[in-house]
Structures are given as structure tokens and as C-alpha cells.
């Protein structure tokens, strides 16, 4: 008898992102941290490796495509791609809630359509009108509200002090970036440490948790 076990893997990683400020041309960077989880269910060890591969792929995708909102340490400007990312992620929960409520309206609406076409049409009171109408109004309403909130959201219109504080906390100025790269070069040419790109060095921080169910 094969007992199915669930393999759950969570991968954590970080990546150094570097850029030039589009406002004052200052070079700066920041370390972005992300985590990703994956599960695979089946008997055997392969599922564990599959879950680990999926978690690492999802983590890589996040590290490649996502951004943190880190203003320039010199002038406090939030870059255009960060603003776009902030708009994309602003109130995302509201959009998901809107989609879920709209789906409920559709689920209520579809059987009603069939009921209307059939000869033995149920009485109006049998149909949960209130729920249907509420969901049909609230669901798209939430999606529109979220679009409006995202359109109005602009990190650069926020308080300059807050942006500078954030930059002070997270931004890595150009001279420190040079130090990091010099260390990386030393490691590359060192005899004890194997040659590893910086991403790999940062990826050493990855911690994995495996939990075998059953
Ligand atoms: Zn700047």
C-alpha cells in the first residue's frame, strides 16, 4: 500500500538590485528578500525534490520580476518601475475579493438562467435575489474601486521624510556597492572559497523547511 505524503517546501532568498536614479543619476542598490512555497503529493522521494524545484523556480521568478519600493538615497525619488509595481500591488486584496464576489454572483446567476428556460420555472421567491444582486453590484464595484485606488496611488506624492527614512534604512549607496563587488572579486580569486556569483552567495541564505505529512 502506498501512502500519499505531502511534501511542503519553502524557499527563501535575496538578491542585490542595482540601478541609477532617473532623477539625479546616483547609483544605488538594495537587497530584496522573497520567499516561495510549493507542495507536491505522491509516494516516494521524487515528490520532495519536485516540490523543492518548484519552490526554487517560483523564488527565482519573484527575485527576477519583483521590486521593492526603495527611494534614491541622494534625492529621495521613487523610480518609475517601482511606481508601476506599487500601483500593481496596491490594494491587491481588494481586487481578489472583488473577483471572488463576482464569481459568487455568476454561480447564483447561471442556475437562474437555466431555471428561466425550463418549463417548470421556480417561483421568484426560490431564487436568492438579494444575494445575487448584492454580489453582482459589490463584486465589480470592488474591482473598480481598486483600479481607482491604484491609479491614484503614487509613492512619490508621499511625505519626503518618510521616503528619505526608507532610503536611509534600505538603500545601499554607490561606495558600498563598490565594496560589495570588491569583496565578490576577492572571493572569486580566493583559494579557499569556490568561485560563485554574488546571487549565489546571497542565495546561501536560503533556508528550506521540509515537512513530510502522514
Ligand atoms: Zn536620485
- Look at residue 95 in the predicted model and tell me its pLDDT: 92
- Look at residue 160 in the predicted model and tell me its pLDDT: 86
Q: Which pairing describes strands 209-212 and 5-20: parallel, antiparallel, or unpaired? A: antiparallel
- Look at residue 113 in the predicted model and tell me its pLDDT: 65
Q: How far is the CA of 22 from the centre of ligand 1 (A)?
A: 7
Q: How far is the CA of 191 from the centre of ligand 1 (A)?
A: 39
Q: How far is the CA of 93 from the centre of ligand 1 (A)?
A: 31
Host domain of residue 171: 1-89+157-214
Helices (H), 66-159: 80-89, 92-117, 129-152
Q: How far is CA 149 from CA 13, 100, 136, 140, 158, in A?
A: 31, 19, 20, 14, 15
- Look at residue 19 in the predicted model and tell me its pLDDT: 97
pTM of the predicted model as reported, rounded to 2 decimal places: 0.70
- Look at residue 210 in the predicted model and tell me its pLDDT: 36
Which of 152, 179, 198 is a domain's end point? 152
Which of 117, 152, 187 is a domain's end point? 152
Same domain, 16 and 98: no
Q: How far apart are CA 188 and CA 197, in angstroms?
A: 8
Q: Which pairing describes strands 27-42 and 5-20: parallel, antiparallel, or unpaired? A: antiparallel
Average pLDDT per consecutive 10 residues, the chain (214 residues; last block may be shorter): 72 95 96 94 78 93 95 95 93 92 85 60 65 89 93 89 92 94 85 54 42 36
- Look at residue 200 in the predicted model and tell me its pLDDT: 52
Residue pair 150/91 in contact (Cβ under 8 Å)? The answer is: yes
Q: How far is the CA of 26 from the centre of ligand 1 (A)?
A: 5
Q: How far is the CA of 87 from the centre of ligand 1 (A)?
A: 21
Number of compact structural domains in the chain: 2
Q: How far apart are CA 156 and CA 86, in angstroms?
A: 11
Q: CA torsion angle for 61, 200, 45, 54 (degrees, to 10)?
A: 0
Same domain, 32 and 52: yes
Same domain, 112 and 199: no
Residues with CB under 5 A from ligand 1 (ion): 21, 23-24, 26, 72, 74-75, 77
Give the strands of the sheet with 172-173, arranged side by side: 172-173, 27-42, 5-20, 209-212
Which of 152, 175, 201 is a domain's end point? 152
Same domain, 75 and 137: no
Q: How far is the CA of 181 from the centre of ligand 1 (A)?
A: 21
- Look at residue 129 in the predicted model and tell me its pLDDT: 81
Same domain, 109 and 211: no
Same domain, 55 and 22: yes
Same domain, 73 and 17: yes
Same domain, 71 and 6: yes
Amino acid at each position: 500500500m502506498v501512502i500519499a505524503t505531502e511534501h511542503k517546501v519553502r524557499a527563501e532568498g535575496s538578491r542585490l538590485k542595482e540601478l541609477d536614479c532617473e532623477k539625479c543619476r546616483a547609483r544605488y542598490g538594495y537587497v530584496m528578500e522573497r520567499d516561495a512555497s510549493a507542495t507536491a503529493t505522491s509516494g516516494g522521494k521524487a515528490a520532495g525534490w519536485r516540490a523543492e524545484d518548484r519552490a526554487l523556480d517560483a523564488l527565482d521568478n519573484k527575485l527576477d520580476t519583483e521590486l521593492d519600493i526603495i527611494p534614491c538615497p541622494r534625492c529621495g525619488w521613487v523610480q518609475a518601475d517601482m511606481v508601476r509595481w506599487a500601483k500593481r500591488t496596491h490594494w491587491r486584496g481588494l481586487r481578489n475579493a472583488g473577483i471572488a464576489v463576482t464569481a459568487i454572483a455568476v454561480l447564483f446567476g447561471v442556475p437562474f438562467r437555466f431555471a428561466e428556460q425550463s418549463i417548470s420555472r421556480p417561483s421568484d421567491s426560490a431564487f436568492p435575489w438579494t444575494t445575487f444582486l448584492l454580489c453582482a453590484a459589490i463584486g465589480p464595484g470592488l474591482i473598480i474601486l481598486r483600479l481607482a485606488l491604484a491609479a491614484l496611488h503614487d509613492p512619490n506624492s508621499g511625505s519626503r521624510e518618510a521616503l528619505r527614512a526608507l532610503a536611509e534604512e534600505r538603500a545601499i549607496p554607490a561606495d558600498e556597492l563598490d565594496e560589495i563587488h570588491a569583496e565578490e572579486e576577492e572571493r572569486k580569486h580566493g583559494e579557499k572559497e569556490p568561485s560563485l556569483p554574488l546571487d549565489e552567495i546571497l542565495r546561501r541564505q536560503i533556508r528550506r523547511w521540509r515537512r513530510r505529512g502522514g
